[in-house]
Amino acid sequence: MPSTVINGFEYDARTERLVVTFVTGRIYEYSNVPVETYRAFRSAFSEGKFFNEHIRDRYDCRELTRTAG
């Protein structure tokens, strides 16, 4: 089922970095995300619900979104 909140995400197992792109266009990188969490995220029925319950506010993050200008 397509998410109404998350447009897509990428994971680098070597660095344990998860990059999430939201439908708003904002992009965030989450640090030290275990591969097990990524795998559960990837297979979750609701990506938005999983993100809110298991990733948001649990891992250090920084915004990668570039602003126009």
Higher pLDDT, 18 or 3: 18
Within 8 A by CB and 6+ apart from 36, the residues are none
Backbone region of residue 16 per phi and psi (left: phi > 0; alpha: psi in -120 to 50; beta: other values): left
Q: What is the pLDDT of residues 6-36, one digit of tens each?
A: 999 999 999 999 999 999 999 999 999 999 9
Phi and psi torsions of 29, nearest 5°? -110, 130
Per-residue pLDDT for 69 more than 70? no
* Residue ranges with strand state E in 1-69: 6-12, 17-22, 27-30, 61-63
